[in-house]
Each structure stands twice: as C-alpha cells, then as structure tokens.
C-alpha cells in the first residue's frame, strides 16, 4: 500500500524509520519505504539522523532528492515556523 502511494506522489517527505531498522528482522518496513522512495519519480526528501542512517546502511541515500539530518528542524520549517539560523540570514 505504501509503495503505490509513494509511486503516485509528486513529492514525498519521510521523517523517521518505520521501526527498529538496526535489528534485521525489524528493518523490512523501513527498507520497503526506502526502496519505494528510491524508485519513485517524485521529489523525495528524508529528514532525521535515523532516516539518514537507515538510507546509508541500505545504500539508498544517494537515490533520494535530499537527505537531511535535521528531522525536527525540517518538520518545523514545513510547519511554517521560523528557524533561528534562518531568521538571522536577512541581517547577516
């Protein structure tokens, strides 16, 4: 079900693995989403250190449009909140 939605989307944002990806039997959900995102023609963005680590471990990080280690910050930016580092740019 996830794969079909991901493949049909124009943009996909993923924050956080689907489970304890570090433990092989529990990595399948994370792997399925990662592989679908890597195969998708959509703009694909993963946010968060754990997502980045999972993608790196699976050799898929370079197949997404962007991978950010700042998961919480990425979510705040998507919510329209001003990030302190971004707020200072106009005065720099």
Structure tokens that stand for 51 in this block: 């997502």
Q: Comparing C-alpha atoms, which of 11, 12, 31, 9 is closest to residue 20?
A: 31
CATH fold of the domain at 2-91: Rossmann fold (3.40.50)
pLDDT for 14-71, tens place per residue?
A: 999 998 999 999 999 999 999 999 999 999 999 999 999 999 999 999 999 999 988 8
Return d(Cα 48, Cα 67) in angstroms, integer: 8
**Crossing angle for the helix pair 28-39 and 49-57, to the nearest 10 degrees:** 80
9: pLDDT confidence band, cut at 50, 70 and 90? very high
CA separation (Å) from 81 to 5, 36, 49?
27, 29, 20
Return d(Cα 78, Cα 35) in angstroms, integer: 24
- Whether the Cβ atoms of residue 18 and residue 31 lie closer than 8 Å to each other: no
Per-residue pLDDT averaged across 66-85, rounded? 88
The pTM score is 0.83
């Amino acid at each position: 079900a996830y794969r079909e939605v991901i493949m049909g989307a124009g943009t996909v944002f993923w924050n956080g693995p689907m489970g304890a990806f570090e433990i092989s039997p529990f990595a399948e959900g994370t792997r399925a989403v990662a592989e679908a995102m890597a195969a998708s023609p959509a703009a694909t963005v993963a946010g968060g250190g754990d997502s980045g680590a999972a993608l790196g471990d699976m050799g898929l990080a370079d197949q997404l449009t962007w991978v950010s280690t700042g998961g919480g910050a990425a979510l705040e930016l998507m919510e329209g909140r001003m990030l302190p580092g971004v707020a200072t740019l106009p005065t720099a």
